[in-house]
Amino acid sequence: MCGIVGYVGSEPALPILIGGLRRLEYRGYDSAGVAYLEGGGLSVVKRKGRLQRLEEALQRQYGEDLSGGSVRIGIAHTRWATHGAPSDENSHPHLSASGRIAVVHNGIIENYMELRASLSGLGYAFVSETDTEVVAHLIERHYDADAKKDLLSAVLRTMGEIEGSYALGVLCADDPGTFVAARKDSPLVVGLGTNGNFIASDIPAILSRTREVLILEDREAACLRADGVRVVDALGRPVDRAPMHVDWDVEAAEKGGYEHFMMKEMHEEPRAVRDTLAPRLRDGAIRLDAITIDAADAAAISKVQIIACGTAYHAGVVAKYAIERLARIPVEVDVASEFRYRDPLVDARTLAVVISQSGETLDTMAAMREAKRRGARTLAIVNVVGSSIAREADDVLYTMAGPEIAVASTKAYNTQLAAVYLLAFRLAALRGLLDEAACAGWSERLLALPEALDRILADRSVLQRFAAEHFNARSVFFIGRGLDYALSMEGSLKLKEISYIHSEAYAGGELKHGTIALIEEGTLVVCPLTQAPLLEKMIGNIREVKARGAVVLGIATDSCAKVDEVCDAVFRIPDVDPLLAPVLAVTPMQLFAYYVAVNKGCDVDKPRNLAKSVTVE
Ligand code: G6P
């Protein structure tokens, strides 16, 4: 997500901080800022847009190389917007009420609405729309109430009140020699240097300065001074951890030590899905505060029209199953380039749901405008805050995948599905089809998904072995029924995008109407088998392809024993409600595609002829 760098030491701090942010630029961001102490005063400079703008503002005061003045301590941030559009006000660092405490934050404070309301009640004024600002105020409250005026204790107390994910850097004007860092579910490392110490959300930011790092664990905090670092647990007890020596080069460090961005991004799926779901599933209720559709609006919807391209379109196909099943509204799904030219039946009773990772895909944008022109209400499921589609849609439901760099989309799809379920449950609740108890049940099942994804990723060597045996396949078929068919489309796309192997997704029941003619000795068939009510039918389909010589890889839940006897290999995913299974079952398919492409020696992150964002027709 966003980037954090911090430094305290004997060298000019600003070149280190800005240089560190530059190392994180590859991840994408929309604004940048820095807070530092000089002559007893705390200064904050922040700018929307490129890092260059921040640097220019600082250069006017500190010279071309930023080494003027006497700044020796500071925290810096590049923001990828989540709460509130990209703007100077929403960029970090954020200040406490008195302006004495500055905070940079990565992650999402899930209970920030409650905290913001109670702080507002106490007279605190907010200058941004971010979730982070509550953290600055809370730290200051605890700091002011503490006779010892200990910043670390104030941060630990605040950690006890905030829920969600965070990596924090905190600077206080009262102590020019110290700053504090803390983390939970968002990465943060401490760098140990000879002329000072550092924090960074990602190792590349500090790699040119030190290779000795302490990895902070969840709910730990650190107090950094020029001459040392003290790490404590949530109760303030000292943590004794040996530093790790990083021998990665910058390129490997950018990929978090993984060989490719695609693998790194798949490993971010549990975090991304949690960040998309958890803030909206509080106390068993589904809260989509940013969506203005009320019960009367929901009752009036006669049709949901989904519009998207590529992977986002495949998320839309899953959405059709979910919305129709839960909210009982007819759903049509179109690829954007078809929708805009087919004279579609859309009117004021249509809810057009537009799905896009980038929020900039030209066909999707044009199709959304067409739907609007015909009177539809528009709702966008988008990953990039403030993107064109997000700005033009009537309502926006953001996915919290964070920046995706690999051209082949992975974590964005899992989070699009998470968002689609939230929307389906919300529409169902508004239409009186889902009571509180049912909502609570679904909420619990949704919140279990990130942990299940963790296990799938940990078990990936099974897929690595299978891919090593089959990467020479000329053609691969993905076959499924129901949601497994919707999912197969994405599995097939992933494989063809990065491995250049011809592949097709087919509905199991459709096999005998054509595709079965292509099955011969050794043909590879991948079957997601997560839809219990359709399992017998799928087993029948598998027998049909096996009888013609196919090799079958099944993807099935733990308790689905039946499929062992018909498949050549089975990858197991944790038991999950069939409706939610695509969020989990796509990951083995992404991993399989990845390992096939690696075995073939393909350029995994930059497949030929493809672009990450398609802004031309
Ligand atoms: C391109 C990308 C795909 C993506 C599609 C739609 O083709 O390579 O990964 O799914 O565009 O992009 P969007 O940003 O609208 O989701």
The pLDDT tens digits for 107-124 are 999 999 999 999 999 999
User: φ and ψ at 402, to 5 degrees?
Assistant: 80, 175
d(CA 55, CA 335): 42
Ligand 1 shell residues, CB under 6 Å: 309-312, 356-358, 361, 364, 407, 409, 610, 612-614
Which of the residues 2, 439, 527, 560 is marked catalytic?
2
Question: Which residue in this structure is represented by tokens 């529409």?
Answer: 427
Q: Check if CATH label 3.40.190.10 holds for domain 458-600.
A: no
Q: Check if CATH label 3.40.50.300 holds for domain 263-447.
A: no
612 annotated active-site: yes
- Mean pLDDT computed over 41-45: 96
CA-closest residue to ligand 1 atom 7: 310
**Secondary structure of residue 305 in the 3-state scheme:** strand
pLDDT at residue 74 in the model: 98
Q: Which of 318, 337, 356, 357 to mutate to test the pocket of ligand 1 (most atoms within 8 A of CB)?
A: 357
Burial category of 215 from C-beta neighbours within 10 Å (exposed 0-12, middle 13-18, buried 19 and up): middle
CA-closest residue to ligand 1 atom 15: 356
Range list of β-strands (E), 508-614: 524-529, 551-557, 569-573
pLDDT confidence band for 432 (50 / 70 / 90):
very high
Beta bridge partner(s), residue 231? 222
pLDDT confidence band for 435 (50 / 70 / 90):
very high
Encode pLDDT of 555-576 as tens digits. 999 999 999 999 999 999 999 9
d(CA 169, CA 221): 10
Q: Which atom of ligand 1 is nearest to the CA of 308?
A: 15
pLDDT at residue 1 in the model: 62
Whole-number percent of the chain with pLDDT over 90: 87
CA-closest residue to ligand 1 atom 3: 310
pLDDT at residue 187 in the model: 85
Fold equal for 2-244 and 458-600: no
Global pTM reads 0.85
Burial category of 457 from C-beta neighbours within 10 Å (exposed 0-12, middle 13-18, buried 19 and up): middle
pLDDT confidence band for 40 (50 / 70 / 90):
confident
- Mean pLDDT computed over 521-525: 94
pLDDT value at 616 more than 80: no
CB contact at 8 A, 482 and 529: no
CATH number of 2-244: 3.60.20.10
362 Cα: distance to centroid of ligand 1 (angstroms)? 10
Question: Residue ranges per domain, the chain?
Answer: 2-244, 263-447, 458-600
407 Cα: distance to centroid of ligand 1 (angstroms)? 8
Burial 269-286 (b: 16+ CB within 10 A, else e): bbbbbbbbbbbbbeeeeb
Q: Which atom of ligand 1 is nearest to the CA of 361?
A: 15
- Mean pLDDT check: name the lowest of 214-218, 367-371, 485-489, 500-504: 214-218
582 Cα: distance to centroid of ligand 1 (angstroms)? 19
Distances (CA, A) of 35 to 67, 93, 133, 172, 176: 15, 6, 14, 10, 12
327 Cα: distance to centroid of ligand 1 (angstroms)? 27
- Mean pLDDT check: name the lowest of 35-44, 509-518, 606-615: 606-615
148 Cα: distance to centroid of ligand 1 (angstroms)? 53
Encode pLDDT of 302-341 as tens digits. 999 999 999 999 999 999 999 999 999 999 999 999 999 9
- Mean pLDDT computed over 208-218: 92
Encode pLDDT of 243-262 as tens digits. 988 888 877 888 888 999 99
Q: Which of 266, 306, 361, 489 to mutate to test the pocket of ligand 1 (most atoms within 8 A of CB)?
A: 361
CA-closest residue to ligand 1 atom 9: 409
Which of the residues 537, 562, 606, 612 is marked catalytic?
612
496 annotated active-site: no
Encode pLDDT of 444-497 as tens digits. 999 999 999 999 999 999 999 999 999 999 999 999 999 999 999 999 999 999
Return the H-helix or E-strand segment holding 43: strand 41-48
489 Cα: distance to centroid of ligand 1 (angstroms)? 14
77 Cα: distance to centroid of ligand 1 (angstroms)? 28
Asked, as a colleague might, if the bond just before 187 is cis with ω within 30 of 0, I would say no
What distance, in Å, lies between the first and last C-alpha atoms of the chain?
Answer: 29
- Mean pLDDT check: name the lowest of 10-24, 384-398, 409-423: 384-398
358 Cα: distance to centroid of ligand 1 (angstroms)? 7
Q: Which atom of ligand 1 is nearest to the CA of 310?
A: 10
Encode pLDDT of 157-190 as tens digits. 999 999 998 999 999 999 999 999 999 988 899 9
pLDDT at residue 27 in the model: 79
- Mean pLDDT computed over 402-411: 93
Question: Which tokens is 576 given?
Answer: 């999950």
Burial 523-559 (b: 16+ CB within 10 A, else e): bbbbbbbbbeebbeebbebbebbbeeebbbbbbbbee
